[in-house]
Amino acid sequence: MGEEARLAPDQTITSVVSGRQVRLRQPGAALVLIFTNQTTADRATALRTALRERFPDPSAVVIASVVDVSGVPRLMRKMAEGALANRYRELAAALGPGRDPAQYLVMCPDWDGKLPSAFGLSGLESRLGVAVVDASGGIVGTAVGDDLLPAVEALVAPLLA
């Protein structure tokens, strides 16, 4: 028998603009965390878009971008929050009519940059990291790289079966 499943950190992340909160240990649905930063933001958006096409129901699969902003000095945090909020609004405008941005967009700043390591991820300076968590908070798997769609699909699909 395999090793006991690890639980996600007992932490709540909060999205910019909508204020939507996601409890990592009790997400209530399959949860895909995309760990990104300024360097990988465009790839994170492309992955999120591809995942949403594959898993269109936001109540079955929550996709959250966790943005590493640990390099932002305290005095500049309001500016960083504003930049994230502007990006959220851009993405929300592209959703199209009838889609509640709070359901489809979860974009959370990670001010201390420690969340990826809580999932065993490192080396994300120029690569994306992803963690998949089941509805009960168990870590299903993680992946690091550039072309993560197949790996994430393989982790999420059994959770919906």
* Mean pLDDT, the chain, integer: 93
pLDDT (tens digit per residue) in 91-123: 999 887 888 999 999 999 999 999 999 999 998
Which residues, 6 or more positions from 118, have their beta carbon under 8 angstroms from its beta carbon?
Answer: 8, 9, 11
The stretch 147-156 carries a mean pLDDT of: 96
Percent of the chain with pLDDT over 70: 97
What's the CA gap between 124 and 121, in Å, rounded? 8
The reply to whether the predicted model has a pTM over 0.85 is yes
pLDDT for 95: 86
| Sole residue written with tokens 């465009």 | 42
pLDDT at 60 exceeding the cut of 60: yes
Distances (CA, A) of 70 to 17, 80, 109, 125, 149: 19, 10, 9, 12, 26
Whether residue 114 contacts residue 68, with contact meaning beta carbons closer than 8 Å, is answered with: no
Judge whether residue 3 has pLDDT over 70.
no
Task: Report pLDDT digits (tens) over 17-29.
Answer: 999 999 999 999 9
3-state secondary structure 20-46: CEEECCCCCCEEEEEEECCCCHHHHHH
pLDDT confidence of residue 4 = 54
Do residues 139 and 7 touch, judged by C-beta distance below 8 A? yes
